[in-house]
Amino acid sequence: MQLIDIGVNLTNSSFDERHQAVLERAYAAGVQQLVLTGTSIDGSEQALELCLKLDESGQRLFSTAGIHPHCASDWNGDSAQRLRGLLNEPRVRAVGECGLDFNRDFSPRPQQEKVLEEHLALAVELKLPVFLHERDANQRLLEILKDYRDHLTAAVVHCFTGEQQALFSYLDLDLHIGITGWICDERRGTHLHPLVREIPRGRLMLESDAPYLLPRTLRPKPKNGRNEPAYLPEVLREVARHRNESVEDLAEHSTASARAFFGLSAVN
């Protein structure tokens, strides 16, 4: 059984000096390929550096490059040039993390929207998929996406935590959906239990979002409270349970979706 973690924040400081051990535990758990999330220009460059340093084979580690909506205020002409350079690197397989976050509003909403459109335009030009973040901004994200969707190769709403209306609106645009350990959270994630059944095969992918979103169903829990890609099988089990699928079947079709989305070949 092989899994692909489509969203891991390996550049997070909590993983410093632990990268190799984290990856070895992931591989041992069946997580054979990982996509490292870029959330700023510097962070995207660091993610690419980790891919090149920790995976000389070029088969296991890949990354995204983009600016998270929290950091949209940092966007400038230099950002655009550096981002374009990153997106031309073979290991960088998607544009993002980019999108809208109207929950925390760390950057002004008009600036978030402008930066999102810059990312979408690059994705169209370079024929790359998009790795999207959305929180409390479903309707506005849809309005912006509709102007680009026909020209985008693909897009995933990563770490989906929304309600049924939001899910169906994204599926209507033929978007992929990323599910994390949020579904394992009995305090705030139970609404996802019936919703994951509605995601068609070929549109569902799994992600840890490590070091965040440690699955609360995990036993035993790590004392440090830090999520790792090695715990992705717990997300797999929970999603499979609510889709009435075997873990083997879900692993097979979610991995196939991720390979197609990011243009990955199976590990030899």
| Cβ atoms of residues 91 and 61 within 8 Å | yes
Annotated binding site for a divalent metal cation: 97, 133, 158, 209
| Cβ atoms of residues 122 and 152 within 8 Å | no
CA angle (96 as vertex; 91, 101 as ends), nearest 5: 160
For residue 66, give Cα distances in angstroms to 37, 63, 76, 81: 9, 10, 13, 12
CA angle (203 as vertex; 202, 204 as ends), nearest 5: 100
Dist CA 240 CA 206 (whole Å) = 11
Dist CA 65 CA 39 (whole Å) = 7
Annotated binding site: 97, 133, 158, 209
Q: Which run of H or of E encompasses 142?
A: helix 138-145
| Cβ atoms of residues 62 and 96 within 8 Å | no
Would you list the DSSP string of 230-256? GGHHHHHHHHHHHHT--HHHHHHHHHH
| Cβ atoms of residues 171 and 225 within 8 Å | no
**Coil, helix or strand at residue 203:** coil
Dist CA 179 CA 66 (whole Å) = 20
